[in-house]
Amino acid sequence: MTASSLVEPPTVADDLAPALESARGERWRPLLGTIVAVAVALALGAGLLLISGADPVSSYAALLDGAVGSRRAIELLLVQSVPLLIMGLGLCAAYRARVWNIGTEGQFQVGALGAGAFLLLTPLGSSPIAIPAAMLVGAAAGGILAWSIGALRARWEINEVVTSLLSNYVVLFGVAYVVRKPLRDQTSGASLQSERIPDVAALPTLPGSRVHIGLVLALVLVPLLLWALTRTPFGMRVRMVGMNADAAEAAGVATRSVIARTMLISGLLAGLAGAIQVMGVELRLTTSMSTGIGFTAIVVALLGRLHPLGVVFSALLIAGLSVGGNVMQLRVGVPNAVVLVIEALIVLFVVLANRRGLLAGGSR
Amino acid sequence: MSWSDVIGADALIPLLVATLRLAIPTMLAAVGECFCERSGVLNLGLEGMMLTGALAAFVGGHHTGSAAVGAVSGTLAGGLLAVVLGCFVVRGKVDQVVAGIAVVLLAQGVTALAYLRLFSSATTPPSVDGSPPIAIPLLEEIPVLGPVLFRQTALVYASMAMVAVLAWALFRTRFGLSLRAAGESPAAADAAGIRVERVRWIALTVSGAMAGLGGAVLIDQLELFRENVTAGRGWVAIAIVILVRWNPVGAILGALLFGFTDALQFRIQSAAGGVETAVPFELFQALPYLVTLLVVVASALHFKTRAQPRALGVPYDR
Amino acid sequence: MLERYAGRSVVALAAVCAALVAACGAGDDAGEGTAPAASGPQPVKTGLILDAPKNAIAWTRAAVAAAETLEDEGLIELQVVDNVAPDATGLKRVATQMAEDGVELIIAHSGTWGEAVGEVAQDYPDANFAFTGADPTGANSENVAAITFPMYQGAYLAGVLAGGVTETGVIGGTAGFDIPVCHAMLHSFAQGAESIRPGIKMLPSYVGSWTDQEKIKEAVLASADQQADVFVPCGTDPGTIAGAKERDVSVFGYVVDEAGEAPRNVMASLVWKLEIPFRAVVDDLRRDRFRPGKTYAGGVPEGAIELVMNPEFSRRIPEQALSAFRKARAAMESGELEVPFVGGQ
């Protein structure tokens, strides 16, 4: 059994056991394949650069230098990768169950909105517990939104792709309203934004660096998700639902609850990422808080092959490409849209190399 | 504000004309997507194909001055990108979700690069000439429907014909039967002598071409190209396909509903005349998406049965 | 590892790449520039950061054109990075890299970047920063200059012309979102029209997107259906002009001279001559008067915002409106007329 469907692929329960078995046997093959695929994509990208008149060596050197060439660059890269990593981890849970949450963008924004509103409107916002409390509020906001979408799917089979996709737009206009009216910073004459969050709620940075502690939280979530998805009965059920929901149901798995819960997890983490972005980077609510980070996180999760460790690498890779792409334009004059093309090529070749299945398992 | 400016007798025809104009690009993509998904292939690259089609239509139209050349190049470009996706998902049998999203990224990058390269030296942004409307004698005399449907451009007539042909082909031809079989039960279809892979290639390419044509119609209406000019219409089209339960006739209506709410909300905003209404105007902006969302939920509660092609998204290996 | 289909897919993709490559040539010549023409002090190494593709919208085209003018004058040595993500991280990483590379003047061309610019500026006290579209009341730090964008002043003058040209007494305006600068612009457009034709009706449309040109165009058509016959855009110029062209109504160009896009319909353009504030910033830098960072006004009194008439249209403007326009402009330049900034609340 290979790839994904929007709901369940028609296979029989007997496929499950050998599929899970063979996954353990070939741990390193996907990694090797991925490396080859990235190399092929970069080589094609080099061809694109070459024929377009830029020197690929100096272009890639500039890209690399921009991403990791200085201490400050690395710090920015890490900050940039935090929301991608957190959201990518959450999506691992949902996508492993073949629950296609396309609404992380909206859940991220709702999380940011919840955290921001909490910090600006309640007295707790300027109290010592402001940071953890706002994270909880943000996560809850994202979680509730995602859970509702998951519940619609679980209870009435309402396709989550369409509901989560449409919810992004609705949230976008909600945020636009909130920063225009109720939470508007009346002192700013130039842009539409909320007031600045209280100073106690700004995330502290790691000693001797500019990287906010959201990174630590993100890194703690990695083993947690890894454990939950690979070492627990819940993780097993998620995989069974992803491989064949009908068979899983027949085997006694409460598929509805798995669907709603994986959706909840991805929403909680997307909301948390939004809260962290507000407290660690933006420090206020704006209409330009997210520039499609939620969509990029989908690419991160898929490129990381829905494995928490893979997501660490893909979050760094994607963040590095976007940071480095601007520098490549700065130094070599290559339009940074090249980076989008390279990103797309990497994704395409990585899936091609791993075409035995996204869900780390089956072959026919 | 005056509601007669929005839905009064004089406002009705302009409202319906606007509905059709806003709906057509999305409608083309959605009907094509229905066709494709019915064969079992999920084309998530639709937005990229629309965008590529839009750029190709613009370049073609700009260099030849002919809207017809533009439409043809847009259609071909959309189809070509679908062939690229097909190499991965039909031949390579990779995950259709991932490959589709990657194709959208690819198209966004490539169209941005190409537009920059082709037109960066222009001082005035380049434009194309849209095709002129052609009134169809007698039919245009029909009250309400006449001026809405029969005073359109040749491109719109062609689009309506394409949509009708696809809807008809899916349910009334042998090929349509094979296509639906490939999407419901590829193994059984194969056993019955249907070449599943070939059918899926055709369906995917057709959906890319339709999306490309949608992009071309958009360019014909706008007479200009800007980066990301399709602005998410491909994604909306995919949502509509699910909303209407994979029925191409439904997709026509779904796109019209979306276009209607959008046309309506702009007219409400204008009629409000900048006076802050009790309802924030962000709600109006969100209206097309909210209404679609509500219809999705309502229709799912109403129908209860599954309509999704059973083999959707599942590659077929003999 | 890449199996048999992979080979074919590589070929297919490579073919597509090759086909596109011809279109993607070395199209970026802004960075190379010309040799400084003027003798005297060295040109200032300047970096311009844009939040959209540089030839996509008038907002970015205006900044690039202004910076290139200064480069041609030998005042600066220019680097442009466009299409940078409009959030704080997007600006920070590019501005940081420029500062690391020793760029002397870093200009961020978006009002929403003001705060992020301030943060980077603290890290690089030796570099100089400026950002456009600034809030005139905002505070600046030592090495940051704020360049204001009082387009509402120009919009008032455009309104005077609109009031004279409208036949129906209904005018319209579009913006992506109801942000303060656009709110103020549409408000003073209506005020200007009211000053010459009392009782005028203004229909503002907030589209909900800065980039969806089809929706922007529809907003114009919807207002035109309700009799509006003169339009002004705020950041939404391509779709607005396309809509005005289709209905053959009048429209103003935004930020750059856009008469060429619809010669029959563009009455005049609200041109933002950014080279004027840019030049003032660079002059101050070269004479060591840049610090402490200050606000550089770029409005009508400074000559930085100007209504550039479309000669093909001007004969259709009634003489009474033209004289009212000239009077208002003179009053604004002399400081006699001060248009208030109404950014909504």
pLDDT digits (tens, 9 = 90+) for C77-106: 999 998 888 888 888 889 998 998 899 999
pLDDT digits (tens, 9 = 90+) for A70-91: 888 899 899 999 999 999 999 9
Alpha helix segments (H runs only) across chain A: 16-25, 29-51, 56-68, 71-96, 104-121, 130-156, 160-180, 214-230, 233-243, 245-250, 255-277, 293-303, 308-332, 337-353
**CA quadruple A315, A318, A322, A325: dihedral positive or negative?**
positive
- Mutation target to probe the A interface, by most A beta carbons within 10 A, among C3, C20, C89 is C89
C-contacting residues in A 113-172 (Cβ below 8 Å)? none
CB contact under 8 A, B297 and A351: no
Alpha-carbon gap: B141 to the closest alpha carbon of chain A (Å):
39
Cα–Cα nearest to C51, from C42, C40, C64: C64
Cα–Cα nearest to B125, from B228, B229, B225: B225
- CA separation, residue A282 to residues A173, A193, B112, C74 (Å): 19, 10, 28, 37
pLDDT digits (tens, 9 = 90+) for C116-174: 898 899 889 999 999 998 765 555 678 999 998 899 999 999 999 999 999 999 999 99
CB contact under 8 A, B311 and A10: yes
CA angle (B106 as vertex; B258, B26 as ends), nearest 5: 15
Alpha helix segments (H runs only) across chain C: 4-21, 58-72, 88-100, 114-123, 151-165, 180-196, 213-225, 237-247, 275-286, 311-314, 319-334
Q: What is the pLDDT of residue C40?
A: 62
Cα–Cα nearest to A335, from A66, A49, A56, A64: A49
Q: Write down the ipTM of this complex.
A: 0.92
Alpha-carbon gap: A265 to the closest alpha carbon of chain C (Å):
26
> Does A190 contact C at CB distance below 8 Å?
yes
Q: Please list every residue in chain B whose beta carbon sits closer than 8 Å to the beta carbon of residue A162.
A: 238-239, 242-243, 292, 296
Residue in this structure with the two tokens 């597509």, named with its chain if needed: C16
Q: CB within 8 A of A360, min separation 6: which ones?
A: A23, A30, A305, A306, A307
Mean pLDDT of A63-68: 90
Cα–Cα nearest to B24, from B203, B262, B200: B262
A122: left (phi over 0), alpha (psi -120 to 50) or beta: beta
Residue in this structure with the two tokens 């599942």, named with its chain if needed: B314
Q: Report the residue of chain B nearest A339, measured CA to CA.
A: B109
C278: left (phi over 0), alpha (psi -120 to 50) or beta: alpha
pLDDT exceeds cutoff 60 at A19: no
Q: How many C-beta atoms lie closer than 10 Å to residue B1's C-beta?
A: 13
CB contacts < 8 A, A to C, total 166
Q: Given pLDDT bands bounded at 50, 70 and 90, which one contains residue B88?
A: very high
Rounded CA-CA distance A87/A90 in Å is: 5
Q: How many C-beta atoms lie closer than 10 Å to residue B148's C-beta?
A: 20
Rounded CA-CA distance A325/A336 in Å is: 5
Residue in this structure with the two tokens 């010549």, named with its chain if needed: C29
End-to-end CA distance of chain C: 60
Mean pLDDT of B306-315: 85
Rounded CA-CA distance C129/C143 in Å is: 6
Following DSSP, what letter does each residue of A61-105 receive, concatenated?
A: HHHHHHHHSSHHHHHHHHHHHHHHHHHHHHHHHHHHTT-----HH
Lowest mean pLDDT among A147-151, B11-15, C231-235: B11-15
Alpha-carbon gap: A92 to the closest alpha carbon of chain C (Å):
24
Q: What is the pLDDT of residue C7?
A: 45
Q: Please list every residue in chain A whose beta carbon sits closer than 8 Å to the beta carbon of residue B99.
A: 347-348, 351
Residue B255 burial by CB count (10 A; 0-12/13-18/19+): exposed, middle or buried?
A: buried
SS3 string, chain B, reads CCCHHHHCHHHHHHHHHHHHHHHHHHHHHHHHHHHHHHCCCCCCCHHHHHHHHHHHHHHHHHHHCCHHHHHHHHHHHHHHHHHHHHHHHHHCCCCHHHHHHHHHHHHHHHHHHHHHHHHCCCCCCCCCCCCCEEECCCHHHCCCHHHHHCEEEHHHHHHHHHHHHHHHHHHHCHHHHHHHHHHHCHHHHHHCCCCHHHHHHHHHHHHHHHHHHHHHHHHHHHCCCCCCCCCCHHHHHHHHHHHCCCCHHHHHHHHHHHHHHHHHHHHHHHHHCCCCCCCCHHHHHHHHHHHHHHHHHHHHHHHCCCCCCCCCCCCCCC
- Closest partner residue to B282 (CB to CB) among A173, A342, A344 is A173
Output B208 or A336, whichever has higher pLDDT. B208
Q: Please list every residue in chain C whose beta carbon sits closer than 8 Å to the beta carbon of residue A291.
A: 85-87, 90
| 3-class state of residue C170 by DSSP | strand
Residue A49 is encoded by which pair of tokens?
A: 């650069």
| 3-class state of residue A214 by DSSP | helix
Q: What is the pLDDT of residue B60?
A: 96
Do A200 and A130 touch, CB atoms closer than 8 A? Answer: yes
> Does B222 contact A at CB distance below 8 Å?
no
Helix axes B248-272, B233-243, angle to 10 degrees: 120
Q: Which amino acid does the sequence have at B269?
A: Q
pLDDT digits (tens, 9 = 90+) for B214-238: 999 999 999 999 888 999 999 999 9
Cα–Cα nearest to A4, from B96, B102, B92, B316: B96
Q: What is the pLDDT of residue B302?
A: 83
Q: Please list every residue in chain A whose beta carbon sits closer than 8 Å to the beta carbon of residue B185.
A: 10
CB contact under 8 A, B281 and C218: no
Helix axes B9-38, B248-272, angle to 10 degrees: 140
Determine phi and psi for C79, rounding to 5 degrees. -125, 140
Residue C294 is encoded by which pair of tokens?
A: 């200050």
pLDDT digits (tens, 9 = 90+) for C18-49: 444 444 443 333 333 444 444 567 899 999 99
Rounded CA-CA distance A8/C291 in Å is: 65
| 3-class state of residue C225 by DSSP | helix
- Closest partner residue to B222 (CB to CB) among C23, C242, C258 is C242
The neighbouring-strand residues paired with C309 are C268
pLDDT exceeds cutoff 60 at A3: no
The neighbouring-strand residues paired with C175 are C206, C234
Q: How many C-beta atoms lie closer than 10 Å to residue B173's C-beta?
A: 12
> Does A177 contact C at CB distance below 8 Å?
no
pLDDT exceeds cutoff 50 at B204: yes
pLDDT digits (tens, 9 = 90+) for B91-125: 988 888 889 989 999 999 999 888 888 887 666 78
Rounded CA-CA distance C84/C105 in Å is: 18
The one-character DSSP state at A204 is P
- Mutation target to probe the C interface, by most C beta carbons within 10 A, among A2, A52, A71, A348 is A52
- CA separation, residue A337 to residues A237, A326, B47, B117 (Å): 41, 9, 17, 11
Cα A221 versus chain centre, distance: 13
A-contacting residues in B 167-186 (Cβ below 8 Å)? 185
Rounded CA-CA distance A205/C211 in Å is: 36
Output C113 or C344, whichever has higher pLDDT. C113
Q: Given pLDDT bands bounded at 50, 70 and 90, which one contains residue B69?
A: very high
Alpha helix segments (H runs only) across A231-287: 233-243, 245-250, 255-277
Mean pLDDT of A201-224: 95
Output A223 or C42, whichever has higher pLDDT. A223
pLDDT exceeds cutoff 60 at B213: yes
> Does C8 contact A at CB distance below 8 Å?
no
- Mutation target to probe the B interface, by most B beta carbons within 10 A, among C8, C80, C221, C312 is C221
Output C208 or A133, whichever has higher pLDDT. A133
pLDDT exceeds cutoff 60 at A358: no
Q: What is the pLDDT of residue A27?
A: 61
Residue A176 is encoded by which pair of tokens?
A: 């636009």
Mean pLDDT of A30-40: 83
Strands C105-109 and C128-134, how do they pair?
parallel
pLDDT digits (tens, 9 = 90+) for C249-285: 999 999 999 999 999 999 999 999 999 999 999 999 9
pLDDT exceeds cutoff 90 at A236: yes
Do C306 and C268 touch, CB atoms closer than 8 A? Answer: no
Q: What is the pLDDT of residue A139?
A: 98
- List chains adjacent to chain B, taking adjacency as at least 3 C-beta pairs closer than 8 Å: A, C
SS3 string, C30-43, reads CCCCCCCCCCCCCC
- Closest partner residue to B95 (CB to CB) among A3, A7, A169 is A3
pLDDT exceeds cutoff 80 at A194: yes
Helix (H) or strand (E) holding C253: strand C250-255
Output B142 or C189, whichever has higher pLDDT. C189
Q: CB within 8 A of B247, min separation 6: which ones?
A: B34, B307
pLDDT exceeds cutoff 80 at A168: yes
Mean pLDDT of A201-210: 93
pLDDT exceeds cutoff 90 at A350: no
Q: What is the pLDDT of residue C134?
A: 73
Q: What is the pLDDT of residue B276?
A: 64
Helix (H) or strand (E) holding C49: strand C44-50
Q: Which amino acid does the sequence have at A241?
A: V
Mean pLDDT of chain C: 86
Residue C68 is encoded by which pair of tokens?
A: 């290139």
Q: Please list every residue in chain B whose beta carbon sits closer than 8 Å to the beta carbon of residue A298.
A: 101
Strands C76-81 and C144-148, how do they pair?
unpaired
CB contact under 8 A, A351 and B314: no
Q: What is the pLDDT of residue C334?
A: 92
pLDDT exceeds cutoff 80 at B304: no
Q: What is the pLDDT of residue A215?
A: 97
Q: What is the pLDDT of residue B122?
A: 67
Rounded CA-CA distance A286/A191 in Å is: 8
Rounded CA-CA distance A269/A175 in Å is: 19
Residue in this structure with the two tokens 């080099």, named with its chain if needed: A46
Q: What is the pLDDT of residue C44?
A: 94
